[in-house]
Structure 1
Amino acid sequence: MEPIALSAALASFTDLWSPRIVTAVNDYDVRVAKVEGEHVWHVHDHTDEFFLVLDGELHISLREPDGERTVVLPKGSLFTVARGTEHKPYAPIPTEILVLEPTGTLTVGDRHDDVPDHVDATTGHALA
């Protein structure tokens, strides 16, 4: 095991909404992704989803029992979407994020809207 520079990991790919697994912690993947534009409404029924914005700005729309709201995460901010919460990430500008979730978790959740071509429905890709 060697240290991993997140800048080098992020420089190794250009695909949007297509996370790369940089390491694992116990049964969790640490993934980095480049994002811009809209993702898809989706739900993770059995796990929370942790987001950390490394650069740029991420908006996460949430459908909660009290209604719909959007949280805005500028660079350096983090947020956890609770399991079972329908959510839709959106990046108004090119953004780099780190996501922590159980190994094997699908990026479009357990239930989701139609997946557009620009969103990679994956459990993460290994770094090149």
Structure 2
Amino acid sequence: MTAPVRNVLAAFDHIPEPWQPHRLVSVNDQDVKVARLHGEFVWHTHPDSDELFLVVDGRLTLQLRDGDVELGPNDVYVVPAGVEHCPRADEEALVVMVERAGTVNTGDQPGERTAEVRELPQA
């Protein structure tokens, strides 16, 4: 059985709130997630997983302890496993993230922003 075609831009139509990751697809042991980001997240690390950020629309600042990384549309950055970071979007940003399946969005800092990855509706 072949997997359905998924449209990244259309996926954002199913995400009403910021900081609520939705799985677009999985490949090997990685999840490709989409999320609307707005405001500041929490400082955290993912000890066992790199995290790739691809900005589709808007701007995203990845705050790192040794300096900020600024991303705009079509920019990609990988936060290495174990590096503490805090995403911030002063205006709404549409973002694709790739990380090991099962990775918790708040990493090593569980709290009120911890969210189970949600499934997008099938087309």
Alignment of 1:1-128 (within 5 A): 1-63=3-65, 68-109=66-107, 111-112=108-109, 115-116=111-112, 119=113, 121-128=114-121
Equivalents in 2 of 1:50, 1:123: separation in Å? Answer: 18
Equivalents in 2 of 1:123, 1:49: separation in Å? Answer: 17
- What secondary structure is seen at the aligned counterpart in 1 of 2:103? coil
Equivalents in 1 of 2:96, 2:41: separation in Å? Answer: 15
**1:21 CA drift (Å):** 0.2
RMSD (Å) for aligned C-alpha atoms: 1.2
The structure richer in strand per residue is 1
Identity %: 34
Equivalents in 2 of 1:54, 1:83: separation in Å? Answer: 23
The answer for unaligned runs of 5 or more in structure 1 is none
**1:123 CA drift (Å):** 4.2
The runs of at least 4 aligned residues of structure 1 exceeding 4 Å deviation read: none
Equivalents in 2 of 1:125, 1:22: separation in Å? Answer: 9
- Aligned letter for 2:115? T
Equivalents in 2 of 1:73, 1:10: separation in Å? Answer: 19
- The 10-residue stretch of structure 1 (29-38 or 2-11) with the greater mean CA deviation from structure 2: 2-11
Equivalents in 1 of 2:52, 2:117: separation in Å? Answer: 15
